[in-house]
Amino acid sequence: MRVLTFIGKGFAALFALLAIAAAGFYAADPAYHGRILRLPFIDQVRDVDFYKPLEVVKGSPAAPLARAPDSAKTIAPEAWDKALSYAKEMGSYALVVWQGGAVQYEYYMPGFKPDDRTDPASMHKSVMALVVGQALADGFIKSIDDPVAKYISEWAGDERRNITIRHLLTMSSGLARGPFSFKPSGEFLRLNLGLEIRDLTLSIKAGEPPGQVFAYSNFNPQMLAIVVERVTSKRYAQYLSERLWSRLGTKDAYVFLDHEGGLARTYCCLQATAEDWVRVGLLHLHKGKVGDEQVVAEDWMAQVTTPSPTNPNYGFQTWLGTTYEPMRGYGKGVPTAVPHSEPFAEPGIIYFDGAGGQRVYVIPSKDMVIVRTGKGGIDFKTGAFLWDDAVIPNALSRGVAAKPETPAAP
């Protein structure tokens, strides 16, 4: 009994010391350290209220997308069953399939509603690419081959003066990457949860000559946000709303700021509904058009989805199914990868990739857009994500009913 009492007192003392340490850690920087302490206890996809402060990206809601009745489904039920089974197995919150003019199938996890927003992680990057195209069309950016230093004077006096906007778009800027670490003083946590990400982003040094190596880094799209705000003299959320989001028929979305009135995180954290992500996918499917309006220039949409010199499976902040890779990597310095159990069944696939399997798949040859949001996971033995990028798009694209051949003229 005395031993048990001693052990009990030891645990009590340990917990007391941990509580004191946590209190001291929190008091040193309440906002930043508070985010760090809460992070392990949230669902980073679904718990959107964790991301504060938020800034609204005003939408302009159109009528809901058309839904195909059971009598007019163009995707075989067994194909949907296969996709849905995998989606449920992987803990999906939403799976929505648009094809041939209407939503063919949709699934929402019990307790998750169609109007619920999620955090899409890096899917925001693919929207960032479209915003840059609008700034180019408006004349705020003269050329994507301009040095970033033309617009950001802080980069004019060192090796970073050779980095162009194109390099940022294609993840080939050569910016230095600090070691991956969960230390509060490290780049990773400071960018994801810190309060001064503008200063942090501007401070990142050159690592190697630009344009030579594909190296996926959140600092590339974050730097593009600083460029957009400088050249337009508008907040990112305002410009995104005016030139893109409100023209897609979408509801209001939200971006996660580093602090009140601060900078939006543009490598992640554009909170929106699954149906609104379908509408972004449709913009690619329709080559920049919404109805009869050319919202984004067709030429820019083509550039966004053109394979880049350093990675044939990457365009401008957007992934492409150009070359089959059983384990798709994120380039130099990134230790994780995504399995592709087989090649994509259709050529020309375009997709947005967010950590944990947040996806928008656009399959032009099948007139199809697929949106999936939900939980993810990592194989801790290999460091690879668990989400298999081949399963759902291949099941659904193979399930599209073949169009009857037009009879030859007599």
150 and 60 in one domain? Answer: yes
- Decide: 354 and 346 in contact? Cβ < 8 Å: no
363 and 257 in one domain? Answer: yes
- Residue 325 belongs to a domain: yes
* Cα first-last separation, the chain: 99
Sequence-distant (≥ 6) Cβ neighbours of residue 200 within 8 angstroms: 187, 190, 191, 194
- Residue 404 belongs to a domain: no
105 and 201 in one domain? Answer: yes
Q: What is the model's pLDDT at position 223?
A: 98
Question: 258: exposed, middle or buried (C-beta count within 10 Å: 0-12, 13-18, 19+)?
Answer: buried
- Residue 249 belongs to a domain: yes
30 and 107 in one domain? Answer: no
Q: What is the mean pLDDT of the chain?
A: 91
31 and 101 in one domain? Answer: no
Beta strands in 82-199 (DSSP E): 92-99, 102-108
Lowest-pLDDT range of 25-39, 164-178, 360-374, 389-403? 25-39
Lowest-pLDDT range of 7-21, 186-200, 224-238, 288-302? 7-21
Instruction: Indicate the SS3 state at residue 402.
Output: coil
Q: What is the model's pLDDT at position 7?
A: 42
Question: Whole-model pTM?
Answer: 0.91
- Residue 410 belongs to a domain: no
The radius of gyration computed from the CA coordinates of the chain, to the nearest angstrom, equals 23
Per-residue pLDDT reduced to its tens digit, 307-336: 999 999 999 999 999 999 999 999 998 989
Per-residue pLDDT reduced to its tens digit, 10-65: 444 444 333 344 445 455 578 899 899 998 999 899 999 999 999 999 999 999 99
Q: What is the model's pLDDT at position 27?
A: 57
121 and 9 in one domain? Answer: no
Eight-state DSSP code of residue 22: H
- The two tokens of residue 67 are 């839904």
Assign residue 120 a region (left: φ > 0; alpha: ψ between -120 and 50; beta: otherwise): alpha
Lowest-pLDDT range of 124-133, 237-246, 322-331, 395-404? 395-404
354 and 293 in one domain? Answer: yes
User: How many domains are contained in the chain?
Assistant: 2
Instruction: Indicate the SS3 state at residue 209.
Output: coil
Assign residue 148 a region (left: φ > 0; alpha: ψ between -120 and 50; beta: otherwise): alpha
- Residue 61 belongs to a domain: yes
Per-residue pLDDT reduced to its tens digit, 82-117: 999 999 999 999 999 999 999 999 999 999 999 999
193 and 83 in one domain? Answer: yes
Q: What is the model's pLDDT at position 274?
A: 98
219 and 70 in one domain? Answer: yes
DSSP string, 332-366: TT---EEE-SS--SSTT-EEEEETTTEEEEEEGGG
Q: What is the model's pLDDT at position 98?
A: 98
Query: The CATH number of the domain where 61 resides is what?
Result: 3.40.710.10
271 and 169 in one domain? Answer: yes
- The rounded Cα 72 to chain-centroid distance in angstroms is 32
- The two tokens of residue 348 are 């020309």
- The rounded Cα 15 to chain-centroid distance in angstroms is 38
Domain membership of residue 7 as a residue range: 2-41
Whether omega before 64 lies within 30 degrees of 0, making that bond cis, reads no
Reported as a pLDDT band with limits 50, 70 and 90, residue 402 is low
Eight-state DSSP code of residue 408: P
Closest of 301, 244, 274, 266 to residue 361, by C-alpha: 274
319 and 201 in one domain? Answer: yes
Handedness of CA 251, 192, 113, 79 (dihedral sign): positive
142 and 16 in one domain? Answer: no
Q: What is the model's pLDDT at position 5?
A: 44
DSSP string, 257-281: BSSTT-PBPSSS-EEB-HHHHHHHH
Q: What is the model's pLDDT at position 366?
A: 98
Please tell me the number of Cα atoms within 13 Å of 365 on its side-chain side: 15
Reported as a pLDDT band with limits 50, 70 and 90, residue 188 is confident
